[in-house]
Amino acid sequence: MTEERFRTLADAHGGDIGRWPAADQAAARAFAAGQAMLAAQILAEAGRLDVLLFADRAVAPSAELREAIIARAPTGRAGRPRRWAMGAGLGLGLAAACAAGVAAGVLLAPPSVVRLLAGAPSPPADDVSGLVAPAGQAGGV
C-alpha cells in the first residue's frame, strides 16, 4: 500500500483501521507496521475529525415543531382530480394544435405535395427550364 492510498483511506474512513473496508485492512496494517511514525500521524489527523463527527448528535425535534409540520402537511388526495384534469386539458390542447397544424399544412400545400401525400402519381413535367441555371451563371447551359 502506498502512502497516498493510506491517506485516502484514512480521509474516507477515519482513524481506526478496523472501520476501513475489509479488503484494505491487512495492507493498511502492514503499511502502519512498516511506516509507524507516518501512519500514526495520518491516523491521528483522521482521528481528530472522527472525534468531532462522533460528538455531533442530532437533536430530536420539539413536540411543537412536529405538530406544526404535521398541521401544514398536505392531506390525502384533495388536489389530485384538479391536477389530473389540468394535465389532460393540456394534453388535449397540444393534440388539437398538432392536428390543426397538419390540416393547415395539407390545405396550404401545393397540389404536387398533396398528390405525393395521397400516393397519386404526378403528371410528367413538360417544362424543366426552372431546373437549369440561367445562361451566364455557374452551371448554366
| Element containing residue 116 per DSSP (H, E) | helix 111-118
Residue ranges of domains in the chain: 3-55
- At residue 138, the pLDDT reads 60
Tell me the per-residue pLDDT of 19-46, one tens digit each, with 9 for 90 and over: 999 999 999 999 999 999 999 999 999 9
- At residue 88, the pLDDT reads 84
Along the chain (141 residues), what's the average pLDDT of each consecutive run of 10 residues? 94 92 95 94 91 83 91 72 80 91 84 76 63 59 47
CA distances for 18 relative to 10, 14, 21, 23, 25, angstroms: 11, 9, 8, 11, 7
Distance between CA atoms of residues 3 and 141, nearest Å: 79
- At residue 141, the pLDDT reads 47
Angular region, 139: left φ>0, alpha ψ -120 to 50, beta rest: left
- At residue 2, the pLDDT reads 93
- At residue 7, the pLDDT reads 94
Cell of 77: 388526495
Quick check: 47 and 75 in contact, CB under 8 A? no
State the chain's mean pLDDT as an integer.
83
Name residue, grid cell 388536489.
79
For the chain, the distance separating the N- and C-terminal CA atoms, rounded to the nearest angstrom, is 79
DSSP state of 123: P
